[in-house]
Amino acid sequence: MQGIAIRLQDLRKSFGRTAAVAGVDLEIRDGEFFSMLGPSGSGKTTVLRLVAGFESPDQGRIELAGQEVTGLAPFERDVHTVFQDYALFPHMTVEQNVAYALKIRKVPKAERLARSREALAEVRLAGYGDRRPAQLSGGQRQRVALARALVGRPRVLLLDEPLGALDLKLREQMQSELKAIQREVGITFVFVTHDQEEALTMSDRIAVFDQGRIAQVGTPAEIYERPATPFVASFVGTSNLLDGEVARQVVGAPGTYNIRPEKIRVLKESAEADEPEHATATGTVADVVYLGDATRLLVDLDGGGRLTAVQQNLETSAEDVAAYRGTRVRLQWHRRHAVRLPS
């Protein structure tokens, strides 16, 4: 279907004795919003730096739009980066920062000016050209960094946890703006984050990193609904793992299973399963966490093991849910939501 923007083959990189990237194969499509998700130290940022050319791999191959770039310097790659702490040049004005890439390419001054103004308008910072980075807020600096990386219209834009330093409200706003800008300019975005919610809401596809390797690649729905490993299940969303004897009893077959908390309904112990397709298990509520919009119940199953269930607070309030603690309940879920994980 589409072209391939980035192809990584058996990419490896060690720092001293630690293998930061331990064999990564990956294809990122043209025009895709692609996220690399993982905890810190999982190798996602190192892969980004390898693609940008700041580090050179010990082994493996990096292709950009079909061309091998493995040994090329950063300035020879048609890739621009938005850095975690923005890395704006403090001695230049906002406009000089944005126009930097164009100046290096010897774009004539008038065009340079027009294009950097346009880029600043794209990130809703028109009129801020004469300020210094120090005079801007965190969110504004973030936009300048974005404009600076976008103005040269690179083949691929790399974003290294660009929203990490922003507060929650601003982050949510920037998430939707980033997504909108990406749709508008049509450039391939490779977005590194440790925030699973951010990855789920913004991405076309996600690669989940675990200890220098990719644990799973897929759409947000695939990653969330069908996690490939226990690690993916626990890192993306809240996991509810059942295995060994408990799995045999509750699910009816051996193996490791994951059930998302919101798929579980909490019923009275005496209740019957609604449909034959539903599985149930009884247990005691061990703990109740009031979340405002929802309540999280930790239930110790009679057969052993513990499941977390999330209930919307449609009718209930904080006082009601506090009374749940210690009560007997029956948990019910659709059988297809008990997802078997390859062990």
Partner 1 sequence: MASEAPATARGSGVRRLAGALHRRPRLRLALLLTGPLLWLVVLYLGSLAVLFASAFWTTDSFTSQVVKVWSTDNFHALVTTPVFREVIVRSVGVALAVTALCALIAFPVAFYTARVAPPRRRPLLVVAILTPLWASYLVKVYAWRLILSQGGLADWLLAPFGLSGPGFGLPATVLTLTYLWLPYMILPIHTALEQLPAQLLDASADLGARAGRTFRSVVLPMVLPSVAAGSVFTFSLSLGDYITVQIVGGKTQLIGNLVYSDIELNLPMAAALGTVPVVVIVLYLLAIRRTGALDSL
Q: Point out which residues bind partner 1 (CB under 8 A).
A: 52-54, 73-75, 79-81, 83-85, 87-91, 100-101, 104-105, 148-149, 152
Nearer to partner 1, 152 or 218 (CB): 152
Judged by DSSP in three states, 213 sits in strand
Nearer to partner 1, 188 or 311 (CB): 188
Nearer to partner 1, 146 or 208 (CB): 146
Structural tokens at position 200: 């789920």
CB of 147 to partner 1, least distance (A): 12
CB of 107 to partner 1, least distance (A): 11
Map tokens 């093991």 to a residue.
305
CB of 61 within 8 A of CB of 8? yes
CB of 220 to partner 1, least distance (A): 28
Structural tokens at position 141: 């600096």
The whole-angstrom separation of Cα 154 and Cα 175 is: 20
Map tokens 């009374």 to a residue.
323
Nearer to partner 1, 159 or 200 (CB): 159
Judged by DSSP in three states, 165 sits in coil
CB of 82 to partner 1, least distance (A): 9
CB of 104 to partner 1, least distance (A): 4
The whole-angstrom separation of Cα 17 and Cα 292 is: 46
Nearer to partner 1, 101 or 285 (CB): 101
296 pairs with which residues across the strands? Answer: 289, 310
In Å, what is the CA distance from 181 to each residue of 119, 174, 186, 222? Answer: 11, 10, 8, 25
